[in-house]
């Protein structure tokens, strides 16, 4: 199926990045958020990143203008009625996501594919909130979206081969590399990454080393571009906690229990870089 008109729900760090790469790849994009300030911030961030790309001579001034012309802010979910493809990047919470998918199912045209950028939640359950489960799929981008090459494509139980193929073709058109993953808690990326981050938090909690030294161990010892605590702050501690809870509940194995220090920070509103404080101050 040819996709041209795209809508991204959620203009936070992931949604804005997803909207940017779609617009840069020639798609007509609506970027939606229920929060006006978040929408404005998302649009401003995209413009800043495009200006930086012009300054670095990676794109031309006219590329930037054309990209911005393909991008329109939206604060009304009803705008989904003109779209071929909708991707959701809102909070990592099943109740909130299923509510939005139920609404999108009633608004979007019959042919439209509904995708989710969820980090860990079951695609099959999100799809069950709609009457088109064969057209619901996981399209999991990595943060920061304009930089990271990977997209995990996750089939729900009823996702059709045609939907899968369309999303894989689209991923290639975005110059990203797709991997096919089955629907299981945390998929592949976060089943592997998040327990490492959680273990780093336990190491801090138990006084094994300071936050800086834990990060240095992984940066200089394992050549990771960021230490795990810096990465947790960058992802968002609320998102890290939600993902650990999905792994814990999904596998029923105590090895996935979220570290109490992570819970404490989230309860305090220390969500990492986006709130100005997490394991570090910003
Ligand atoms: N948005 C867009 N572009 C960004 C960016 C952002 N938030 N942060 C950095 N960049 C760009 C910079 O503009 C820069 O591009 P230029 O060459 O044009 O200057 C480039 O990335 C490199 O940036 P820096 O030189 O400033 O810094 P760096 O070399 O340390 O790289 C990084 C930054 C790419 C973020 C790197 O530290 C890194 O790869 N970190 C790990 C990221 C990672 O693991 N992501 C996965 C998170 S898990 C996930 O996404 C799944 C989930 O469900 C939670
Ligand atoms: P974020 O908190 O930065 O942004 C979420 C945005 O969604 C906010 O601007 C909020 O106003 C908006 N929103 C909430 N409910 C909405 C609704 N009903 N309609 C419209 N907008 C709504 O979050 P994020 O880090 O961008 O994460 C978004 C999703 O992407 C989550 O499912 C997360 O698990 C996933 N994800 C996150 C990362 C990461 O590193 N942060 C990586 C991959 C995937």
Residue 145 shares a structural domain with residue 37:
yes
CB atoms within 10 A of CB 143: 16
Let me know if residue 119 belongs to a domain: yes
Residue-level pLDDT at 1: 76
Phi and psi dihedrals of 172, rounded to 5?
A: -65, -40
| pLDDT at res. 26 | 97
In a shared domain, residues 161 and 227? no
Does the annotation mark 224 as catalytic? no
Catalytic residue at 93?
Answer: no
Query: Does this complex have an ipTM over 0.90?
Result: yes
Same domain, 262 and 166: no
| Per-residue tokens: 118 | 């969820």
Burial of 78 (0-12, 13-18, 19+ CB in 10 A): exposed
**Owning domain of residue 108:** 5-182
Q: 139 pairs with which residues across the strands?
A: 153
pLDDT (0 to 100) of residue 2: 86
CA 132 to CA 111: how far, in whole Å?
Answer: 9
Total number of domains in the chain: 2
For the Cβ of 147 lying below 6 angstroms from any atom of ligand 1, the answer is yes
Same domain, 260 and 195: yes
- Residue 174 has a pLDDT of 98
Q: Report the CATH number at residue 242.
A: 1.10.1040.10
Q: Are residues 75 and 104 in the same domain?
A: yes
Measured over the CA atoms of residue 9, residue 15, residue 16 and residue 19, the dihedral's sign is: negative
CATH number at residue 89: 3.40.50.720
Same domain? For 102 and 222 the reply is no
- Domain presence at residue 279: no
For a substitution probing ligand 1, which of 187, 223, 225 has the most ligand atoms within 8 Å of its CB? Answer: 225
| CB 32 within 8 Å of CB 47 | no
Residues 124 and 64 in one domain: yes
Q: What angle do CA 93, 167, 23 make, to 5 degrees?
A: 85
In the reported structure, the alpha carbon of residue 35 is separated from the centroid of ligand 1 by a whole-number distance in angstroms of: 25
Residue identifier of the C-alpha nearest atom 30 of ligand 2 = 89
CA distance 149 to 203: 30
Q: Which of 182, 213, 233 is the last residue of a domain?
A: 182
- Are 10 and 54 contained in the same domain? yes
Instruction: Verify that 14 and 138 share a domain, yes or no.
Output: yes
* 95 and 170 fall within a common domain: yes
In a shared domain, residues 262 and 197? yes
Residue 272 phi/psi, 5-degree rounding, is: 100, -150
CB of 153 within 8 A of CB of 139? yes
60-99 per-position pLDDT tens digit: 999 999 999 999 999 999 999 999 999 999 999 999 999 9
Token representation of residue 174: 């975005």
Both 145 and 262 in one domain: the answer is no
pLDDT score, position 263:
98
Specify if 280 maps to a domain: no
- Atom number, ligand 2, closest to the C-alpha of residue 235: 40
Q: In this structure, are strands 113-116 and 85-88 parallel, antiparallel, or unpaired? A: parallel
Q: Which residues of the chain have pLDDT under 50?
A: none
Please indicate whether residue 15, judged by its CB atom, sits closer than 6 Å to ligand 2.
yes
Last residue of a domain, one of 137, 159, 182: 182
Residue where a domain terminates, one of 140, 157, 182? 182
Whether 282 is in a domain gets the answer: no
Distance 31 CA to ligand 1 centre (A): 22
Assess if residue 281 is contained within a domain: no
Radius of gyration of the chain (CA): 19
117 lines ligand 2 (CB under 6 A): yes
């Amino acid at each position: 199926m040819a996709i041209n008109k795209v809508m991204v729900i959620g203009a936070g760090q992931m949604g804005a990045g997803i909207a940017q790469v779609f617009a840069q790849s020639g798609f007509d994009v609506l970027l939606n958020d229920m929060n006006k300030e978040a929408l404005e911030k998302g649009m401003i961030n995209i413009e800043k990143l495009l200006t930086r790309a012009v300054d670095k001579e990676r794109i031309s001034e006219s590329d930037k203008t054309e990209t911005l012309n393909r991008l329109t802010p939206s604060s009304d979910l009803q705008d989904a009625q003109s779209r071929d493809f909708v991707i959701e990047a809102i909070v990592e919470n099943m109740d909130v996501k299923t509510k939005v998918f139920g609404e999108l199912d009633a608004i979007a045209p019959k042919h439209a594919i509904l995708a989710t950028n969820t980090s860990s939640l079951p695609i099959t359950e999100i799809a069950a909130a709609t009457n088109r489960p064969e057209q619901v799929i996981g399209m999991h981008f990595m943060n920061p979206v304009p930089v990271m090459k990977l997209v995990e494509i996750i089939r729900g139980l009823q996702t059709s081969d045609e939907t899968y193929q369309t999303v894989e073709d689209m991923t290639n058109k975005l110059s990203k590399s797709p991997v096919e993953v089955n629907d299981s808690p945390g998929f592949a990326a976060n089943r592997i990454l998040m327990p490492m981050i959680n273990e780093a938090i336990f190491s801090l909690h138990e006084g094994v080393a300071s936050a800086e030294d834990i990060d240095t161990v992984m940066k200089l010892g394992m050549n990771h571009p960021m230490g795990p605590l810096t990465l947790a702050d960058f992802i968002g501690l609320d998102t890290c906690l939600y993902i650990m809870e999905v792994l814990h509940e999904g596998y029923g194995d105590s090895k996935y229990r979220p570290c109490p220090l992570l819970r404490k920070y989230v309860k305090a509103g220390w969500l990492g870089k986006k709130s100005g404080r997490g394991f570090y101050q910003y």
